[in-house]
């Protein structure tokens, strides 16, 4: 490869890299602008909203499931005498 071909290849690689970085910069700037726009559209009074309590949610779910299964029969549990042995 002579010097002119090498220089042309390096220049082309440099230009492709610059184009890729430019495209990435435009994408990231557009994404940041969209996030700012969405944040501006959200209600500002977040302090008035109570944060969710996952522990209380889990307790409420457990109570609801307990109430649903209150009248149902228990699941039978296999005991040692009820387990069939495999034929040999």
pLDDT at 30 over 90: yes
Exposed / middle / buried, residue 52 (Cβ in 10 Å: 0-12, 13-18, 19+): exposed
Enter the pTM of the model.
0.43
| φ/ψ (deg, to 5) at 29 | -65, -40
Res. 37 pLDDT band, cuts 50 70 90: confident
pLDDT at 82 over 60: no
Res. 47 pLDDT band, cuts 50 70 90: low
CA-CA-CA-CA dihedral for 24, 28, 31, 35, to nearest 10: 170
Say what the pLDDT of residue 36 is: 82
């Amino acid at each position: 490869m002579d010097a002119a071909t090498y220089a042309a290849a390096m220049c082309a690689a440099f230009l492709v890299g610059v184009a890729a970085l430019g495209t990435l910069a435009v994408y990231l700037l557009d994404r940041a602008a969209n996030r700012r726009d969405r944040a501006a559209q959200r209600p500002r009074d977040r302090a008035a909203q109570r944060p969710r309590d996952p522990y209380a949610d889990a307790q409420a779910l457990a109570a609801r499931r307990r109430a649903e299964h209150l009248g149902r029969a228990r699941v039978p549990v296999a005991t040692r005498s009820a387990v069939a042995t495999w034929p040999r």
